[in-house]
Amino acid sequence: MSATRSAAASVETVFAVLADPTTHAAIDGTGWVQEPVDQATLTEVGQIFRMAMYHPTPETVTTRWPTRSTSSIHRARSGG
């Protein structure tokens, strides 16, 4: 299964929302994510955050991408 969704937001805004666990319940869509147990903003690889949710498991940041424009992301993926 796959899905695509476009957002009328800057790359910086999208990454700011994803890096802030207090916003995850609002963007979840399933109702499973309720609230953050850890409210610190995610800033580094290896940082762990926990959410109060239907299946409460710790999540670990494994990759941190630098903020960049969407066009440079597409160029990097296509090799262009």
- Tell me the backbone φ, ψ of residue 12, rounded to 5 degrees: -60, -40
> Which residue from 36, 39, 61, 35 is spatially nearest to 48, judged by alpha carbons?
61
Q: Between residues 71 and 26, which one has the greater pLDDT?
A: 26
- Tell me the backbone φ, ψ of residue 29, rounded to 5 degrees: 90, -15
Overall average pLDDT of the 12-29 stretch = 88
Burial of residue 66, with CB atoms counted within 10 A of its CB: 0-12 exposed, 13-18 middle, 19 or more buried:
exposed
pLDDT tens digits for range 22-65? 998 898 888 888 888 888 888 888 888 888 877 767 778 787 77
